[in-house]
Structure 1
């Protein structure tokens, strides 16, 4: 699918996004606050929903902490293929799918291995150094798919 060749490969080591963590904390807090309002729910159901929201928040914070301690590498090779490594797991020869979403403030990479399930990677501007973010955005925006193929939103 990706037809362009590049002179240099692009090596990325994304960090967990603080923006995404803050967004998740705010979202879970609002959900918990909504459950504390007087609703027509039995107290047991409200408690279970509140505990579920709290458990989900704890899970997201733990995932953020765990991702921060591990190493994640994305390599966009000169032949247009991708390599993805997270911890000890390694996926070589991934292809970038047209469903990749690109905006100035959010990039969602959809990568497909030769065999297996698609891999998704959400990147926000604080996940990468500014120069790497800009270079990745430029390559994705201008180097390959047409705007009809990729969700390009400027």
Structure 2
């Protein structure tokens, strides 16, 4: 008695190859919001400030690397500092009324639509007062809010 017939061998081979290639695809899920304790612990700099300018541009995604067309809207937020809540050691010389530039992002296009990180929950507008929980990005040499809820709008501009 034959255990495997020719059509069954072909089907089994395709199934194993398919399982192997599916194992190579990386799927990401949306990032859960951080608790207040996690925001305080993971941030290197916590500031309150007034948004002076917000510029945005759409660029190829550096987050989503799978096959498809993936674009992110990247926001450069210029912040006038009002209060410093947590200061890292290398930024001790930072004074009030100085400006810092913060980079935030949201997905603009995902073809095919895939689950994954959805960027920052709230993007402030010019004139808004915000509290930001920031982490230093050494590669880009700028501050980035923690994902996904590292930006909290304290007071909206009227």
Name the TM-score, length of structure 1 as normaliser: 0.28
Which structure's residues are more often helix, by fraction?
A: 1
Name the TM-score, length of structure 2 as normaliser: 0.27
Which structure's residues are more often strand, by fraction?
A: 2
Give the structure with higher Rg (CA). 2
